[in-house]
Structure 1
Amino acid sequence: MARPLLPVLTLLFALPAGAMLWQGADLSRLFSTVAVAAPADLLDGCGDVPEAVALAEELRDRALRIERYMAALDTKKAEIAEAEASLRDHLGNVRAQKGRTNADRDGATQAVRTDIDRLIALYDQMKPAEAAAILTNLPADFAAEILMRVQPEAGARIIAAVDPRQAALLTAQMGARSVRTP
């Protein structure tokens, strides 16, 4: 008589769970009531059937494991949310740092351009012979850069005042710079 009772009990427990799954209901509610219910409540009238007792204990153990798993998932979700918030804060800080760095670099670049413009204006105002004397003592690439940036008329007068060998070298440097810079 104990053998036919096991399939009946299985159906008794499986059919409501299957119906809830079919309807899309939340099974955690079902498991939480099973875990809270005492085995005696589950086994009203079936306490003398060892298979029913074993099944009830197995279901209770599974419900407890599911509850622990759900609690662990909730903990992991909270940890992930905290990590996401931390990453968002860090990303905001990095973006702000990048903005400050770009602003600093742009300011420094602008300061260098201003200094170069001042230097070029100075050479534009100098007499060609004086500018030629100074440029011949500078490194050839730096002197060529200055000559490339001064007014064309002033540059021509300065090159005319430079020693012909030095003028050829400066002209070659200017040509090489023009080829390197698109």
Structure 2
Amino acid sequence: MAKFLVGKVLIGGLVITAFAKAAVSFPELATGEDLPAITGPAIVLAAGEEEKEPEGPVPAEAPPPVVAGLGDKVGMCETPEEVLRNLAKERSLLEEQREAMNLREAELTLAKEKLGIEKAALTELKGSIEDLLARVEAQQTEDLDRLISFYKNMKPAEAAGIMDEMDIEVTIMVLGTMNPRTAAPILAKMTPVRARAVSKIILERGQLPGDQDLTGIRLN
């Protein structure tokens, strides 16, 4: 190994001596004129060394990027006939939609008119029912006033005898509407059972339905 290193040193010294003599004999070489330009890094090999091949495969240059879908769009331009045909289709579709909207609007207008007619009919029916109820109530009031007038003109004992056998609801209605001064003598002449029932019902009817207590009432 020592001999190999000594050989390399001697060869290097000889090379330097040769370059020095050439520089003296040919000064234009020392200035670097007329020499080709070095475009890459120069590799100086020592004596006895060989140039080595690069290990592994040399990477090739990367291909240019491919734009996805770029080739699919080639030749897709519509012709004038296709453009006119598409416009005609769109115009036809818009016309169909316009007709459908007009039909829907007409249906809504008709339904609104029907609702207005039905509302007017219901309002008229409501008015008729209210008028009928008012007439019935007025007739009942008139009949009740006439019935009360009949019993007022009777003797208390006679009126009490009739009310003992009368429907309890009618008795309560007559005595409840009659002036207390007129009803008191009639109530006094009624049977005790009937008088207690009438008094209890008149007292409880002023209460709410949930608060009324009509248990234990005897009518006869």
TM bin, normalised by shorter chain, reads 0.5 to 0.7
Query: Which residue in the other structure is 1:41 paired with?
Result: none
CA-CA distance at 1:85 after TM superposition: 1.4
Letter in 2 for 1:75: L
What is the aligned partner in structure 1 of residue 57 from structure 2? none
Is structure 2 residue 199 aligned with structure 1 residue 176?
no
1:93 lines up with 2:121 in the alignment: yes
CA distance in 1, matches of 2:204, 2:116: 49
Q: 1:174 to 1:102 in 2, by over 3 A?
A: same
Q: 1:159 and 1:52, CA in 2 relative to 1: closer, same or farther beyond 3 A?
A: same
Alpha-carbon distance change, 88 to 57 in structure 1, aligned in 2, over 3 angstroms = same
Q: Please state how far the C-alpha of 1:53 moved relative to its aligned partner.
A: 2.2
Q: How does 1:53-92 map to 2 (within 5 A)?
A: 53-92=81-120
**Partner Cα distance (1:82, 1:140) in 2:** 56
TM-score (norm 1): 0.67
Identity value in percent: 23
User: Could you tell me the TM-score, scaled by structure 2's length?
Assistant: 0.56
* Distance in 2 between residues matched to 1:99 and 1:165, nearest whole Å: 45
Shift of 1:178: 2.9
Match status 1:152 vs 2:152: no
Partner residue of 1:113 out of 132, 137, 141: 141
Of structures 1 and 2, the one with the larger relative CO (CA 8 A, separation 6+) is: 1
What SS class does the counterpart of residue 166 from structure 2 fall into?
coil
Please say if residues 128 and 161 of structure 1, whose CA atoms lie closer than 8 Å, have aligned partners that are also in contact.
Answer: yes
Could you tell me how far 1:140 is from its partner in structure 2? 2.9
3-state SS, counterpart of residue 178 of structure 1: coil
Summarize deviations over 1:4-59 as a string: whole Å, max 9, x none: 994xxxxxxxxxxxxxxxxxxxxxxxxxxxxxxxxxxxxxxxxxxx5332222111
- In 2, the alpha carbon distance for the partners of 1:107 and 1:140 equals 25
Q: Which has the higher Rg, Structure 1 or Structure 2?
A: 2
CA-based RMSD of the aligned residues comes to 2.3
Aligned residues: 137
- Whole-Å Cα distance in 1 between the matches of residues 119 and 149 of structure 2? 44
